[in-house]
């Protein structure tokens, strides 16, 4: 009887050891704590558009909760966390145009659960109305984008492709 239990005990011990060791062998992505973004797309749908950027963040602190209204999140610029700026090609020079209503967004909290807090994904925002400046004097535009995490780390700035308006 002891001989029959011994192989099962060894097999159980070996499986338990594998269950403990195997997850430690899995490589987790490591990113800097500052968000990093890359331009992905700008899609136009008549009177609106969708701007998409891909992002990574090493500590997973992207997004603001509805209750994040106390300092430093109570005043500009940190009451928002995704900043889109409008630029026009004016006489061969890209020029930022300040809009009456800025294109600032509050991305909700997307922090993952568990030990690995690294994040990567896509963020899309609607630009409506589009084009942002209707009847402007210049016909070539682009958008620049910056993301800020809850620790106020700022991402790099990326720009969309140039778009010639009809």
Break the chain into its structural domains and give their ranges: 36-164
State the Cα–Cα distance between residues 107 and 148, nearest whole angstrom.
Answer: 10
pLDDT of 129: 79
Distances (CA, A) of 15 to 10, 19, 36: 9, 6, 40
Percentage with pLDDT > 70 across the chain: 83
Fold that domain 36-164 belongs to in CATH: Immunoglobulin-like (2.60.40)
pLDDT of 24: 47
What is the per-residue pLDDT across 25-49, written as a single tens digit (0 to 9) for each?
Answer: 455 568 888 999 999 999 998 888 9
pLDDT of 132: 77
Give yes or no for a contact between 60 and 120, defined as CB atoms under 8 angstroms apart.
no
Tell me which H or E stretch contains 158. Answer: strand 158-159
pLDDT of 159: 98
- Who's near 104: CB < 8 A, 6+ residues apart? 77, 80, 82, 83, 84
Task: State the Cα angle at 33 between 43 and 63, rounded to 5°.
Answer: 50
pLDDT of 51: 96
What is the per-residue pLDDT across 83-120, written as a single tens digit (0 to 9) for each?
Answer: 999 999 999 999 999 888 889 999 999 877 777 788 99
pLDDT of 13: 55
Average pLDDT over residues 74-84: 93
Residue 157 in this model has a pLDDT that exceeds 80? yes
Between residues 131 and 125, the one the model is more confident about: 125
| Best CA proximity match to 137, nearest among 89, 94, 103 | 89
pLDDT-derived band at 146, boundaries 50, 70, 90: very high
Q: Alpha-carbon torsion 29, 31, 33, 39, what sign?
A: negative
- Who's near 88: CB < 8 A, 6+ residues apart? 94, 95, 97, 133, 136, 138, 140, 141
Average pLDDT over residues 133-157: 91
């Amino acid at each position: 009887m002891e001989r029959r239990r011994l192989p099962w005990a060894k097999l159980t011990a070996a499986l338990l050891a594998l269950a403990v060791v195997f997850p430690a062998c899995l490589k987790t992505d490591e990113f800097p704590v500052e968000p990093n973004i890359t331009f992905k797309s700008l899609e136009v749908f008549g009177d609106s558009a969708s701007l998409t950027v891909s992002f990574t963040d090493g500590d997973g602190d992207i997004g603001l909760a509805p209750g994040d209204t106390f300092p430093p999140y109570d005043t500009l610029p940190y009451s928002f966390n995704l900043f889109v700026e409008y630029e026009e090609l004016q006489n061969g020079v890209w020029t930022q145009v300040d809009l009456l209503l800025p294109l600032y967004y509050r991305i909700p909290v997307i922090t993952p659960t568990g030990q690995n807090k690294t994040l990567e994904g896509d963020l899309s925002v609607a630009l409506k109305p589009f084009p942002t400046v209707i009847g402007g004097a210049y016909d070539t535009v682009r958008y620049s984008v910056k993301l800020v995490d809850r620790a106020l780390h700022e991402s790099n700035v990326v720009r969309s492709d140039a778009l010639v308006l009809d």
